[in-house]
Every structure is written in structure tokens, then in C-alpha cells.
Structure 1
Amino acid sequence: MKASKFTDAQKAFILKQGEDGMTVAEICRKAGISQATYHNWKKKYGGMGTDQLKELKRLQKENEHLRKAVSDLTLDKLILAEAAKGKLLSPARRRACIDRVRAELNVSERRACRVLRQHRSTQRRIPVGRPDEEWLLADMIELTRQYGRYGYRRIAALLRDAGWHVNDKRVERLWRREGLKVPMKQPKKGRLWLNAGSCVRLRPEHRYHVWSYDFVHCRTDDGKAFRTLNIIDEYSRECLAIRVDRKLNSGNVIDVLSDLFILRGIPSFIRSDNGPEFVAQAVQDWIKAVGAKTAYIEPGSPWENGYCESFNARFHDEFLNGEIFYSLREAQILIEEWRKHYNTKRPHSALGYRPPAPETIVQMDQRPIMH
């Protein structure tokens, strides 16, 4: 009989024979064990009875269970610490996290799924996109390449205009997966002084109620400066005109307004800052003579002309910052093309992601309005 096959009671009986005066050699011969085994038993269990040996075995097993539990808890803590680098709100993120944990800590899939609460069937499932996702992604990338400063909401609106039946969430998911763009930092806003001409106190109520205009500066490739006079209808957000020239003064302001008044009619108010071209007496007298009113903002408060300033920011960000103009004529042609695109194609967030003046109504709207 092998030494490992002896029960606790048999070991206690053999050791008790030695206490009764029997020699070690005789005990080992009768039990069929070596003297080394006998001395190991005596060293480990000497002086113990059967009940004491059973209690020792029970304590040893309990100690092993406790050690295993502590080891399991430590490993679970390591898994959670490895996964705590981001929120696991979706099965896809949990799937990626479990793969990383298994690679880093060399744990089983069962263990990682149990700790991170991911069903193993979900972990093993390979996501299959919709059949049209490849074509949708290709169209998204093409629109993003064409309109590099648009966010996913405007891209989604353009996709819907092109015939795709997609919502913003699906476009956002593909947008984030492809890493197309990081949103711009929100600029700080100053406190409104609420002048009489402010866009807060004088709000547009209908088309041709309030127009606003402002200058934007840029340069051609040879370093020479040119200016643009941007005029918009604040209610419809339509860009009515952009005059481009090396120099623009109060006379040019009157010329552009004259053409617009003949084509579109006369607005109730014209909002602007206090630039010399706008506060010139000739401009004020002419506007008053045709039956419109001026609405000047507080000096040094461009946010009070918020509609036009917002348009100027889009004009810079989406067009001027991405173009090189080799001549003034080229700038005039390209800027006019962008103005038409802005009015008829570009989705505007304030209009429910619709363009300010779609092509279907442009022709109907090109008529003077009598006041």
C-alpha cells in the first residue's frame, strides 16, 4: 500500500504504535512503508489523535479555498482596473476591452466575460454591417472630402437629400469609427450690451424684415488685399450678395444696396457695425430716402450683429481658409459660386438642416416687393 493511500485514522494508529514502544523498523515492516515516510508523518502529525488529524485536514482545505478566493478577487480587480480606462456602454466596446484584457493578463475568455458582464455568445459574435454600409461610407467620405468643415449632422442632411434613408445616429457611428473629424472648440461669448440695434432686441420676424452686412478681408496669392461686402437676410439666412473688390467704400455700399432693392425690394431695417462705410452720411441719407431704417450695434460689440458674424465665420472656415486665389477675377468667380452653393445646397442647422434658398424657390423669389 502506498503512503498516499493511508487514511488519517491509519496514520494516527501507526504513529501510536511507536508511542507504545514498538521499534520503528518493525512498525514500517508491518505497515509496508519506509522509515523516511514514518519520520515525515511523525514530524507532521506527531502527538495528534484521529479527531485532531481530521480537523487539521479540514482547516487545510478551508485555507486552500480562502487562498483561491483571494487570488480570484485579486485577478478580478486587475481585470476591472485594466478595463477602467473607458466607459463600456456598448457590446462592441466590451468586446474590444475583453480582447485587450485577455492579451494583457492572460486570462480565459470565460473569466473576462464574467467579470465584465459580457455574454460569451455576444463576445464571439462577429458584427455584420448592413449591406449598403460600404456605399454609405463611401458617400460620407466623398462629402467630407468635398466639404471638409462640415460636421456629421450636415453630412447626414446632405446624404438624405441625395436619397439615403439614414438618421443622425447611424451617420455619427460611422463618423466616429472612421475618425473623420474632431468638433471645433466652442468659442467664448461676451456679455450682450443690448443696444437698440442688437440682434437680441431687434429680432427678424419675416423675410425682408432685417438685412445685415459687414466686410471680410482676404488676400490673393501675390499678397495684395481684397475685401468682400457680405449682405444677408437674417430671417431666411440667405446670402443676398457678396461684392468682391480691392477697395470698397460707402459708394460701393450704395451701389450694391441699389441693385438688391431693385431685385428684392426694400427691407424694414439694415443692421451693421459702426464702420466708416456704413455710418457715412451719404449712406444714412440714401437708406432713409428709400424708406428703410438703419440699426447700428454698440461699438466694439460684434456679437450684437450675430447673424452676419456667424455667416462670416462660416465663410472663412469653409471657403476662404481652404482656397488660394491667384487673381481678383478668380476670387470673384469662386466666391459667387460658393454663395450659390451656400444658398441652395448647404444645410443650415437653424433651418432644420435645409438650405436657405433651395433652387426650386429661387426663381419665384427673384421679384421686387412693394412696401
Structure 2
Amino acid sequence: MSPSRRRQAVRMLCGRLGLSQRRACRIVGQHRSTQRHQPAEPDPDHDLRRWLRVFAKAHPRWGYRRAHAVLNRDGYACNRKKVQRLWREEGLRVPARRRKRRRVGESTTAADRLVAERPDHVWALDYQFDVTATGRILKILHVVDEHTRESLADVVAYHLDADATVDVLDKIAAGR
């Protein structure tokens, strides 16, 4: 016999026959603590939990905030924090966005498309920086022919700006 049925039997013995609760529990074989135990009420948020699970399945990219907005729009007044708590207790989560995979194939940058076919067709520039023992910054400009891998210019200066770089390239072009 289940504890709830035994509770009913104890109540009947106490009510009809006038037995004490202690004696009725002994006859039925039920502990008195079990007799006095109040069964927990069913979850008052059961329907809301079910609705949240259905909502999350139908809209996997929407979270508890959007669920709360839809609930309010449909006329079910509910606290946002309660929706958040139930959402978390149900283990619902918005899945992390997938990272876009880089497309493998031809590059769209000019540097990757341009291939040196002959000497002086493509030049490459490279800037390097170094610090002297006194703390001053040295700027180093390297200019290389991509076809022959020949170093066309190596300029070391404390001040090397865009105008100086253009002057170096003009000198190289004039000499070739």
C-alpha cells in the first residue's frame, strides 16, 4: 500500500474508531513522520517550463529575453528574472555561433595574384625597426626584386617617412 493510501487509512481509523494517531499508525504500519509529512505541491511553473522548452526548440537562436517578450506580448504577465531562472533550470541555452570557415581557393588580394614574371616586374618593401643603446629608434627600409631576390636598397635612418621612401623608389627606378 502506498503512503498516501496509508494516510487515508490512519485518518479513517482516527475519525471513525477514535484511535490515537500513534496507535492507528502502528496498526497500519506507517511511521508517524510519514503520516504528518505534507506532500509537495505540484510545480506551479510546470506549464511555463513546458512552454519554454517548446519555445526554445522552435526558436533555437532566441534566448530568455525574447521568450519573456513573447510571453508578455501574448498576455502572460511574467517577471523577466523568473523566466531567466526557469530557462537556466531547464538547461536551455542559445548555441554559440559557428565560426565562418575561410574559403580555400584563390585569394582576392593583389599581393597574392601578382606573380613576378621577369626582373623589375614586382618589388617588395619591408620596414624594420630597431632600438639603439641610447634608446633611439632606427628605421630600416629593404627593397627586394621578387623575381631575382636581389636587394635593390637598404636604407637605415632615424627618420624615414613616406617622402623618403618615394625618393628611394624613384632613385632605384631611374637607375634600372
TM-score (norm 2): 0.38
Comparing both structures, which one devotes a greater share of its residues to strand? 2
Q: Kindly indicate whether structure 1 or structure 2 has the higher relative contact order, using CA contacts under 8 Å at least 6 residues apart.
A: 1
Comparing both structures, which one devotes a greater share of its residues to helix? 1
